[in-house]
Copies of this chain bind each other. A is one copy, B any other.
Amino acid sequence: MKAAKLENRHAFLTEMPIPKPEENEALIKISTAGICTTDIEILHGYAGFSGIAGHEFAGTVEKAPSFPELEGKRATADINCGCGKCKWCSSGDARHCRDRSVIGIRGRNGAFAEYLCVPVKNIHLIPESVEDYRAVFAEPLAAALEITQQVHIKNTHRIAVLGDGKMGLLTALALRHHCENLLLAGRHPEKLAVVSGKGIDTILLEPSDSTGAAGSRPDPFDIVVEATGSPEGIQDALAMVRAEGTVIAKTTSHRRSQIDLCEVVVNEIHILGSRCGDINLALRYLENGLVDVDLLVEKIYPFSDFTEAFDHACRKGSLKVLLDMNRP
């Protein structure tokens, strides 16, 4: 099969044997995959991963030795594959299993390939009305919705999303259903325009003015979601949040952040890390049209143009670049 690898800071296509599913696994024929900022971070050394990346995908179950009823069904999957034995896995949540592998991120190949094996218990069937290229968004949308499951958001809260990249836009579109006072703060007028007409306030930050959103808005926010993708973003988020407020940290960077911990202590701020969420919930959002992910699709490339697609995704300011595996 054709597969794309990230190795030694290079992204390239290669040929590999089709993987064979273990007893409790399913072989999925990938139809569409999405390139995530995490993949770009991986290319730069994040998570120490090399191999086939890709953790946003949709496809069709080709083989499931122990679960033949799944064959032919359209599916995506939870990316965290747990040990099955620890306290986390026993509770049904493998996201924090210490021995987990993570599809396309840690110890397990990902979806930038024609075929992928995943544990059957990770599979989520895609609702009939959700097209594959939209189902690819289930993983990042679940990560955005994770915030709503970690924090008690009230409609009276004032929430700011900092960063108008893919995650920032998706988070704003998702949180809009949970809060009417929602501001998206970013540096790209064309990206802020993506959410126009969606009931989301936007503010354009000046490049030189890292705390612009705080400066021009004297009232600090109850909740600030840091989704800038930059290790500097957290300090800007801290400048925007009220005392006893919450900063949700979404950025995973291979670089460290500098923070003024003193402000965190004196103002008793919560910083809450937020990662993967509930794929099932995200599929329900997609099924019911709660988030229009079409707004976020920048371009769909045939898989044979993987290198070009990855270069495109790496460009500052690009939205979601998708790979169509059925056009190899």
**How would residues 216 to 254 of chain A score, 1 for a CB under 8 Å from any chain B CB and 0 otherwise?**
000000000000000100100000000110000111111
Once bound together, how far apart are the Cα atoms of A270 and B257, in whole Å? 16
Is B243's CB under 8 angstroms from A253's CB?
A: no
A243 contact set on B, CB distance < 8 A: 88, 95-96, 98
Nearest neighbor of A96 in chain B, beta-carbon distance? B243
Chain B contacts of A273 at CB under 8 A? 261, 263-270
Interface residues of A (CB under 8 A from B): 46, 88, 95-96, 98, 150, 231, 234, 243-244, 249-254, 256-275
Name the CB-closest residue of B to A102.
B266
Shortest distance between the CB of A188 and any CB in chain B (Å): 22
Cross-chain contact B262 with A254 (CB below 8 angstroms): yes
Number of copies: 2
Q: Is the CB of B268 within 8 A of A257?
A: no
Query: Within 8 Å CB of A270, what residues of B?
Result: 270-273
CA distance A52 to B150 in the complex (A): 44
How far is B271's CA from A281's CA once the two chains are assembled, in angstroms?
Answer: 27
The reply to whether B265 and A96 contact each other, CB–CB distance below 8 Å, is no
A245 to chain B minimum Cβ distance, whole angstroms, is 10
A267 and B150 alpha carbons, distance in the complex (Å) = 13
Q: CA A98 – CA B262 in complex, angstroms?
A: 16
Q: List 10 A-B contacts (CB under 8 A).
A: A250-B265, A251-B265, A252-B262, A254-B262, A256-B261, A257-B258, A264-B271, A265-B273, A269-B272, A270-B271
A234, A250, A262, A271 — most chain B CB neighbours (10 Å): A262
Do residues A262 and B268 form an inter-chain contact, with CB atoms below 8 A?
no
Rounded to whole angstroms, the CA-CA distance of A100 and B2 in the bound complex is 64
Q: A244-B96, A270-B272 are in contact. Are A262 and B258 (CB under 8 A)?
A: no
Residues of B within 8 A of A234 (CB): 261
Give which listed residue, B249, B254, B264, B274, contacts A249 with CB less than 8 A.
Answer: B264
Q: Are A258 and B258 in contact (CB under 8 A)?
A: yes
Residues of the B chain whose Cβ atoms lie less than 8 Å from the Cβ of A258: 256-258
**Known contacts A96-B244, A256-B261: does B231 contact A268 (CB below 8 Å)?**
no
Q: How far does the Cβ of A219 sit from chain B's closest Cβ, in whole Å?
A: 10
Q: Kindly state the separation between the CA atoms of A253 and B260 in the bound complex, as whole angstroms.
A: 9
